Chains A and B, each alone.
Chain A
Amino acid sequence: MSIKGKHVTRRDALKLTSGVMAAGFSMPWAAGRGLAQQAATLRAGIAGFNVINTLDPMKATLIPEFYVIYGAFNALLKFNSKMEVVPDLAESFTVANATTLEFKLRKGVKFQDGSDFSADDVKFTLDRVADEKNAAPNRSKVTAIQDIQIVDPYTIRIVTKAPFAPLLNYLTNTRTATQIVSRTAIKAHGDEAFGRRPVGTGPYIVKDWKSGESLELEAFPGAFSGAPKVARVMCPLIAEESSGMTAILGGQIDLTSTAPFADVPALEKRPEVKVLKQAGLNTRYIALNNRKGPFADINFRRAVSMAFDREVLVKAVLFGEGVAIPGVLPPALWADAKPAFGQYVTFNPERARAELAKSPHKAGTEATLLVWGSNWWRRMGEIVAGQANQVLGIKIKLEATDFSAAYSRMKAGEADAMVMGWLGFVDPDEYIGELAGSKGFRNIHGYANPKMDELLDRGRTEIDPAKRKQVYAEAERLLADDLPVLPCFCSNVHNLLRPNVKGFVQLPYSNFADQFGTVELG
């Protein structure tokens, strides 16, 4: 076949036909994206997740919920591209004394429903999170606050019971629940409706939300940060990370929230997609039952810890997209003192066997390791169990289940161990404090050590960052001795972008929609 002298193969003809079809029947999140509207819609796939329960910051807990919340709301503070805390809805802030912060608020800021933003909304937001009746999952972030004083409509003072070092981080637009909500909107519509149609000051309004399918965001021209350049954002919820990758390669979406570790090296070589990556704020470990069973014995925990190679995990589970860690603080966090790998977190089969000899639990001891989630979580469990069994002659068997079941069993003390991890947190207290503190609610493994609690209390009240860092270094050393959990690795965070997407700045806490306001489609 030839057209005007050009040879056209059957494949070309098929492509041409499909191209015409594709133009006519583009995906729902690209609907109406004709030539004239090409820059009007950003298709930002939330990959690896398809459940969003609420968009109310007070109730949100899942990372995909915050992906959207980041773009619909602002907080008093935010992180800039250097991960420094800077004002957001606050114009400036001053540390009046060790227990008092004073914020000057921006004037003329409008909520997406047209109502005015003022100190009253700030107080309402923080009181709402702190109110026991609301049972906010992130309530612990504001319980240190003793008093919130409205000095004038644009000045607010926050007083804590004692010096509380994490507070500035907890007032940022991250997984904190302290994103400022519209008092007027909540009073008018109620909590339930607000959770589905939130009203914030952010650059995008949640226009439509099809549960388990997609969200549609519409630009808020009155945003104080400036009118967004892209009029509409469609966020399909893509359950499989690999499907997110094929969607962007196929041109069905422009941006993804994550990428499959195994495919990152290959994706970096492809011209049709740009890979953004950096060391992430996350931690992955094996949670151990410190209350009963073989892992209640410190020598057994140490023996297993020395019986598997963390570098192998990084290569085989993350395909090099991360680093082995000796504690639970991610290296990307300012408070991580980059401690050396202590003897109990270094792979050493000889020492591991010697340590097992000190334990009442010898070779042949049986234990169950719960695995859940994506393949890489399972692979992590397989490698740890496989290596430990081989080195020590113990019998750790894997049991595949889902997160909810594994978490419940671990929390109830009914499971020996589970693969575990957290991501997106910005303060060291959220990691080691909640994990190793005897009252930490992420301490599902039942670890209690008064020395650790004392260190963590010091970490919370020490305002000087340098001194605080030293406290956490000490806590990490204690954790690497006691090993209530087996630290494994910290993974990179990834975003995939089509080359035409400009202005998206990736941050290590897995940010997403907070950047949409500055994104441009070339």
Chain B
Amino acid sequence: MFFVMRAGHGDPALSALGDLATPEAIAAFHKRWGLDAPLVVQFWRWLSGALVGNFGVSMTIAGGVPIADLIASRLPNTMFIGLYALVIAVMISLLAGTVSALRHGRLIDSAATSMAVLGISMPDFWLSYVLVYALALGAGLFPSYGFISPADSLVAALYSGFLPALAVAAPMAAAFTRILRTALIETLYRDHVRVARSLGFTGAFIFVHYVLRNALIPYVTVIGLQVRYLLGGTVVVERIFGVPGIGALMVDAAFGRDYAVVQACALTFLVIVLIVNFLVDTLCNALNPRAA
């Protein structure tokens, strides 16, 4: 990423100093931030800092502010919206997927399946504006812009973050519903479920212990896959709703040629994805009746 970013056009000096920058100002900026050194030297400077957890300071989008501070203030907001969206998506999909599977082929199933297709097809920016116009400006139920960090007030964060979380959750809920429905229907007709029925277990007991538990394995795997995209997926929503998150930070940094900030954000994403992968694999193992 270090070399790819530098291979592109654009100059951090222009981002920081703007279009009025004189050649002298640009040269002074390059010198100040070590951009006049060979690329290998610049890379070594960055790497030797990153290895000990020192990401340096922002040179354009937040001139002089330590990058660790920027990430520390932004990451909780993105994670909060991501988790909030995940909870909403899981709740909606558990309900819709289950109802759809148990009533498959009926009107409610068709309705749920159609909603899922709609949810997957909707661009996030469009859905965001629909939510703003319908629920914020129309019904007046939520703020149309702005977010209060959970660090300041958890309840306020839940309230101000509802629309952005819902915008992020909608396509996920649609994908989860479809996978859960398919997995449940497939499991419902498996031999071990028939055997359980013939043994006289109740429908609810069979559903929870023999159907849902098996169906949850592909469901959780898909959730894990989606979570990987969750961080990047919040970028547009963060900008529209004014959530100061890490996705928006990374995009701003990329446009501002704030190389070190982009690299630090990418590294943060990488670590989070690795952790999520580990957690998903662990959860899948725990859920698998054969492994349990």
- Residues on A facing B (Cβ under 8 Å): 11, 14-15, 18-19, 21-22, 24-29, 50-51, 53-54, 59-62, 132, 135-140, 192, 195-196, 210-213, 236, 238-240, 242-244, 246-247, 249-250, 252-253, 401-409, 422, 441-442
Question: Which residues of chain A are near B145, meaning CB under 8 Å?
Answer: 27, 236, 238, 243-244, 246-247, 250, 252-253
Question: Which residues of chain B are near A407, meaning CB under 8 Å?
Answer: 14, 19
Q: List 28 A-B contacts (CB under 8 A).
A: A14-B139, A15-B139, A21-B159, A22-B143, A25-B155, A25-B159, A25-B160, A28-B149, A53-B17, A61-B18, A135-B25, A135-B27, A136-B22, A137-B22, A212-B248, A212-B249, A243-B145, A244-B145, A246-B129, A246-B137, A247-B144, A250-B132, A250-B143, A403-B14, A406-B9, A407-B19, A408-B10, A441-B22
Complex: A136 Cα to B136 Cα, angstroms:
45
Once the chains bind, are A195 and B19 in contact (CB under 8 Å)?
A: no
Once the chains bind, are A401 and B9 in contact (CB under 8 Å)?
A: yes
Question: Which residues of chain A are near B242, meaning CB under 8 Å?
Answer: 236, 238-239, 243, 247
Question: Which residues of chain B are near A238, meaning CB under 8 Å?
Answer: 145, 242
**Given the known A-B contacts A249-B144, A409-B9, are A239 and B239 also in contact in the complex, defined by CB atoms under 8 Å?**
yes
Q: Does B252 count as interface, using CB distance less than 8 angstroms?
A: yes
Q: Does B61 count as interface, using CB distance less than 8 angstroms?
A: yes
- What's the nearest-Cβ distance from chain A to residue B269, in Å? 18
Beyond the given A62-B18, A243-B239, A252-B146, could you list 19 further A-B residue pairs with CB under 8 A, ordered by the A residue number? A18-B140, A21-B159, A25-B148, A51-B15, A51-B256, A137-B17, A192-B64, A211-B61, A211-B65, A212-B61, A212-B252, A238-B145, A249-B144, A252-B144, A401-B9, A403-B19, A408-B9, A422-B19, A441-B20
Q: Does B16 count as interface, using CB distance less than 8 angstroms?
A: yes
Question: Which residues of chain B are near A24, meaning CB under 8 Å?
Answer: 155-156
Question: Which residues of chain A are near B9, meaning CB under 8 Å?
Answer: 401, 404-406, 408-409
Q: Does B257 count as interface, using CB distance less than 8 angstroms?
A: yes
Once the chains bind, are A28 and B10 in contact (CB under 8 Å)?
A: no
The 3 closest A-B pairs by CB, nearest first: A61-B18, A250-B144, A211-B62
Question: Which residues of chain A are near B252, meaning CB under 8 Å?
Answer: 50-51, 212, 239
- What's the nearest-Cβ distance from chain A to residue B60, in Å? 7
Q: Does B153 count as interface, using CB distance less than 8 angstroms?
A: yes
Complex: A195 Cα to B248 Cα, angstroms:
24
- What's the nearest-Cβ distance from chain A to residue B286, in Å? 37
Complex: A163 Cα to B139 Cα, angstroms:
62
Question: Which residues of chain B are near A51, meaning CB under 8 Å?
Answer: 15, 60-61, 252, 256
- Residues on B facing A (Cβ under 8 Å): 8-12, 14-22, 24-25, 27-29, 58, 60-65, 70, 73, 129, 132-133, 136-137, 139-149, 152-153, 155-156, 159-160, 239-242, 244, 248-249, 252, 255-257
Once the chains bind, are A15 and B70 in contact (CB under 8 Å)?
A: no
- What's the nearest-Cβ distance from chain A to residue B127, in Å? 14
Complex: A192 Cα to B65 Cα, angstroms:
11
Question: Which residues of chain B are near A11, meaning CB under 8 Å?
Answer: 139
Question: Which residues of chain B are near A53, meaning CB under 8 Å?
Answer: 16-18, 60-61, 63
Once the chains bind, are A28 and B148 in contact (CB under 8 Å)?
A: yes
Partner of B15, one of A138, A401, A404: A404
Question: Which residues of chain B are near A61, meaning CB under 8 Å?
Answer: 17-21
Closest B residue to A415 by CB, please name it. B9
Partner of A252, one of B11, B143, B239: B143
- What's the nearest-Cβ distance from chain B to residue A294, in Å? 21
- What's the nearest-Cβ distance from chain B to residue A255, in Å? 14
